[in-house]
Structure 1
Amino acid sequence: MLLFFVSVLLVACSDKGSNEAGEQAAKANKNEEKMGGTVRIAMSTEVDNLDPYQSAATDTMSMMDNVYDGLLDTDEAGELVPAIAESYDISEDGLVYTFKLKENVTFHDGSELTAEDVKYSYEKLAGLSGEEPISSQYEVIEKIEAPSDFEVVITLKEKNSAFLAANIRPILPADYDNHSEKPIGTGPFKFAEYKVGQELRLVKNEDYYNDKKIPNMDEVLFKIMPDPESAILAMQSGEIDVIPGISSQGKEQLGDTIETVSAPQNMVQLMALNNQVEPLNNINVRKAINLAIDKDMIIDMVAEGDGVKLGSNFSPSMQVYYQEGLEDTYQTNIDEAKKLLAEAGYPDGFNLELTVPSDYQFHVDTAQVITEQLAQVGIQVEIKLMEFSTWLEKVYNDAQYESTIIGFTGKLDPYEILRRYVSDYNNNFVQYENEAYDKLIHDALSATDEAEMADIYKQAQTMLAEEAASVFIMDPYRTVAMKKGLQGWKMYPIQKFNLEDLHYTE
């Protein structure tokens, strides 16, 4: 049966003439491509875990995505496309997914990938192997069968509209558990070496099953550089070739020595408020905080204008599901904020701890602006900096915090974005609890009509805004800086590094 793909709609306009010109330019550029070489990429955060089933950091996943492949992948428009799977079929009742695998796919140790590897991986993810589920996305799986070497049949417990997009997760070799030290996947690059705090090195996979995507580059070095200025200086001196996220000021410093690619990230930067700690468990306090914060000022000062203001936990890049107008729910109003604080019993304000991962200067800068803004209503903010690995443990896993600044990365399915606020979601560290919201997300998951599904998700976004679940700030643009002569970097609705397409032209 035919099933629509959950996708991000990116609008582009062109005519026949420009298409022909683009094709000719692409052919000319292809002729200029130089094979081989090394590309050095500056990363602001440390690797949290090389094992893709234990990693929670988006930057780590983006780097290691080049080592692993899933059954499906995504293209630049957010459409799901085949990877290890050659094709798939979904039963009429929406419960049975049958994947036909490509043959001659090999892991980096030379072993052939078969249905048993997929079965092993998904049983591990779903907790069907006797251990706790690694990912709640897979808890919906009832059983997995491998009727032949290249066919996998997955039966769900109930209809789940988000399951198809979950099939981009990496497939691991059966019964191999040393990925934290020596990762083995099927991707276009092989793991070579990792030096803690210094660099991650990947090398070209000459035996990659997709011969059209065998990398041009011989080697990729991810250099750990938490300080943005150090990365810029390293690029100026020729020690770095790519900075995946650079500010306008950084672009000015590098001038015409670089080429850039820029697009919205499908990210939600927010000031997360722990709804279960006082006084943030009071809706009037949360509304007051929203009214005291000037998002336009943050976008201008921190993102230098390169950001889209948000009103809920959803980016307009997901056009089909985005509820317009919520960005104006809390227009800055200091007097009204003070009034709400007084009604809540805090006429003189209160002290608030704001935890921020020190590895992300963008969030640190945002925290500093917010500190000044909240001081206008008597809320005295103490910024608490911690390394991202510690943030993951203390905030993301244990919810031991009052407020924090973080970015929720984009997903290919709206359910994966909005489920973060479902009461029993494992990593609902905002600790938002609302039975009506939970029901909306459950209803969306079982919906079969896209228009109905979109309406439900819009209602959920509105609820988050009206209850001031947190302060939803912006979707900041991501600008990638590359040295002159390096081309091929593409932008996706999720953070993804297409290193197999990179090449030098000079």
Structure 2
Amino acid sequence: MKRKLLEVLLLLGLLSAVLCGCGGGSADKTPEGGPDSGSSEPAAQPAADHPNEITVGIAQDLDESLDPHKAVAAGTKEVMFNVFEGLMKPTPEGDLIPAVAEKYEISDDQLTYTFTIRDGIKFHNGDPVTAEDVGESLARCKNGGDGIFEVEAFSNIQHMETADSRSISITLGEPDSEFLSYLTAAVLPAGYDGQDTAPVGTGPFKFVSRAAQDNIVLERFDDYWGEKAYLDKVTYKIIENADSILMSLQSGAVDLFAHLTSTQVAQLGDEFNIEEGTMNLVQAMYLNNAVAPFDDVRVRQALCYAIDRQQILDLAFDGYGSLIGSSMYPAFGKYFDDSLTNYYTYDVEKAKALLADAGYPDGFAMTITVPSNYQPHLDTAQVIVEQLKQVGITAEILPVTWESWLNDTYMGRQFQATVVGVDASTMTARALLERFTSTAGNNFINYNNAEYDAIFQAAIAAADDAAQTAAYKQAEANLTENAANVYIQDLADLVAIRKGLTGVRFYPIYVLDLSGIRYTD
């Protein structure tokens, strides 16, 4: 795709923009089935000509801390999905099933949730999981502090009670139809203080080692409560350079790589099968609403009209991807409002008129910060730069390291615009929309809209599902109408898996489940 994109831009006389991009990896389905809590079958045995392990390539290092309650990057959550579990866990079909919990009951008034801990379930260190562990883990997420991100939904917890070592009751202040989805938060051993560097969970794989900027090693957890992982060992190899990704796959050094571009896939040859799903990300050009000129809604709307999103998909992604119009992606089904997808149509003259009305008849200069290890976002930014020239805006791509993007752009909010993808940490609309409330700690675009805050509060307080769904759609419409960001697409997820391996599972959230990967020979 890079070559094709370059050829098209050359024809348009736009070579300078292509040269702005720098190397990097990918952004951040054929389901094989979900976990089976009743299975005790042994893992598949390796064939004689290869060990029962694989190497998985990833485009960025994980967060400095591996504590799941401190995770910032979607890539960290993607990997550690294999190590940690909550009372509940998602399936590839989008359902929630008990994990650390064996079963649960909900009171008639929808306020009290009583969970029975799975009999015999163990942490990776061999300790049994108890109700005390669950209670402390939930309290940790509720209270935050010391780098731990608060789960806002847990502020609704009024009381927790452990009747015995296997039973915990959670009482809410008011009903919350989405509460179960937040109970995917990792259950950790109470009193253990080594999660930053030696994480301990209950998942199908256990952590073995980490070499910063190089690799993360996991091994199968043989005492796992459910269906055992097939592989004995998985090594995640960090490969941030786009050319190195292809070389590592073609040389045999890497067996599986997700989130590839169509160009990378086309160059792989016959040694790999390609599985196609969606990334379940909201890719957009995110705008810092607190800095000029992006604090003016007319400027933001002008940008929306000035960018041809279908051309981005055609030039940079060979037509792969699904257009979106707000902070919701199609996998969320009932919450996805397709009517917003074409709220802004490509219209150069309307964009120019809005810019003139805002006091920028001749346009302005801006920078687009992009993490350099995410090739799809770089490719998107390159096309955007050329399109903005048509309305007098001179945009420059500022490629930065992933660490710099996290620290300066995301946490520090020091940017004008950035092209990235934002994920949902849980299978809830709330997870995607809460970040744009004015007081949210992860509101990195500094969106501040009183009407939006009120709509969101109405959504989470809604007494029934229909009212809540309607309110969430109202919130999406508010983001679109006020052009909080320039929404582009949910990217296609192209996964290369070496022939002789199978078992890729796609989920409606941004994770990579390795428990089903196995050798077929």
Selected match of 1:56 from 48, 68, 72: 72
Deviation, 1:424, is 1.4
Structure 1 residue 457 corresponds to structure 2 residue 487: no
Q: CA deviation at 1:11?
A: 12
Alignment-derived partner of residue 99 in structure 1? 115
Secondary structure at the counterpart of residue 317 of structure 1: helix
1:375 counterpart = 2:375:
no
Deviations 1:310-335 (A, max 9, x none): 11111122221111221211111111
Whether contact under 8 Å (2:30, 2:275) holds in the other structure is no
Equivalent residue for 1:39, pick from 51, 54, 75? 54
The one-letter code of the counterpart of 2:384 is I
Task: Tell me the CA shift for residue 120 of structure 1.
Answer: 1.1
1:299 alignment counterpart = 313
Alpha-carbon contact 1:144-1:153 (below 8 Å) kept? yes
* Partner secondary structure for residue 183 of structure 2: helix
Equivalent residue for 1:276, pick from 290, 302, 324 = 290
Which residue in 1 is equivalent to 2:462?
Answer: 447
- Following superposition of structure 1 onto structure 2, how do residues 466-505 of structure 1 map, counting pairs within 5 Å? 466-505=481-520
Q: Would you say the 8 A contact 2:57–2:239 is kept in 1?
A: yes
Q: TM-score under structure 1 normalisation?
A: 0.90
Which one of 446, 452, 456 corresponds to residue 431 of structure 1?
446
Alignment of 1:313-324 (within 5 A): 313-324=327-338
| 1:423-473 CA-partner distances (Å, limit 9, x unpaired) | 111111111122221122111212232222222222221121111111000
- Percent identity for Structure 1 against Structure 2: 37
Tell me, what secondary structure is at the counterpart of 1:501? coil
1:228 CA displacement: 2.8
Name the counterpart of 1:16.
Answer: none
Aligned counterparts, 1:351-390, within 5 A? 351-390=365-404
Structure 1 position 228 matched with structure 2 position 237: no
Q: Which amino acid aligns with 1:415?
A: R
Choose from 163, 166, 174 the match for 1:147: 163
Q: 1:131 to 1:283 in 2, by over 3 A?
A: closer
> Which amino acid in structure 2 is aligned with residue 473 of structure 1?
I
The match for 1:267 among 281, 284, 308 is 281
User: Is residue 193–residue 202 contact of structure 1 (8 Å, CA) maintained in 2?
Assistant: yes
Q: Does 1:173 align with 2:189?
A: yes
Q: Superposed, which structure 2 residues align to 1:59-208 within 5 Å?
A: 59-127=75-143, 134-208=150-224
| CA deviation vs aligned residue, 1:281-340 (integer Å, no higher than 9, x gap) | 111100111111110111112222111111111112222111122121111111111111
Aligned CA RMSD, in angstroms, stands at 2.2
Task: Output one character per residue of 1:228-284: Cα deviation in whole Å (capped at 9) or x when no partner.
Answer: 321221111111100112222222211321112111222110111111111111111
| 1:18 matched residue in structure 2 | none
Distance 1:389 1:145, change over 3 A: farther
CA change 1:128–1:55 in 2 (3 A) is: closer
Instruction: Give the conservation status (yes or no) of the 8 Å contact 2:43–2:230.
Output: no
Match for residue 311 of structure 1 among 325, 330, 342: 325
Paired with 1:229 and 1:494, the residues of 2 have a C-alpha distance of 28
Long gaps (5+) in structure 1: 1-9, 13-21, 23-29
Task: Give distance in 2, aligned partners of 1:167 and 1:90.
Answer: 14
8 Å Cα contact 2:284-2:421 kept in structure 1: yes
Q: In 2 relative to 1, CA 129–144 (structure 1 residues): closer, same or farther, beyond 3 Å? A: farther
Residues 200-246 of structure 1 show CA distances to partners (whole Å, capped at 9, x for unaligned) of: 00011111122xx1111110000000123212211111111001122
Alpha-carbon offset, residue 133 of structure 1: 5.8
Query: What's the CA shift string for 1:116-158, capped at 9, x where partnerless?
Result: 1011111111118999763333222223221210111112233
Distance 1:11 1:130 in 2: 40
Kept after mapping to 2: 8 A contact 1:42/1:225: yes
Name the SS for the 1:405 alignment partner.
strand
Letter in 1 for 2:519: Y
Q: How many angstroms does 1:33 deviate by? A: 5.3
Distance 2:488 2:117 in 1: 42
How far apart, in 2, do the equivalents of 1:222 and 1:137 lie? 32
Change in 2 beyond 3 A, CA 1:149/1:426: same
Cα offsets for 1:19-52 (capped at 9, x unmatched): xxx9xxxxxxx99954461111000011112111
Partner of 2:20: none
Most deviating of 297-306 and 286-295: 297-306
**Alignment TM-score, normalising by the size of structure 2:** 0.88
Contact 1:356 1:383 in 2 (8 A): yes
Q: Residue 441 of structure 1: SS of its match in structure 2?
A: helix
The alpha carbon displacement at 1:159 in A equals 2.8
8 Å Cα contact 2:144/2:150 also seen in 1: no
Distance 2:144 2:370 in 1: 36
Matched residue SS, 1:472: strand
Q: Is the 8 A contact 1:268 1:315 kept in 2?
A: yes
Instruction: Please say which of residues 134-143 and 344-353 is displaced more in the overlay.
Output: 134-143
Q: Cα gap change, 1:389/1:143 in structure 2, threshold over 3 Å: closer, same or farther? A: farther
Matched, 1:252 2:252: no
Q: Is the 8 A contact 2:44 2:231 kept in 1?
A: no
Decide whether the 8 Å contact of 2:30 with 2:505 is kept in 1: no
**What is the SS of the residue equivalent to 1:372?**
helix
Q: How many residues align?
A: 479
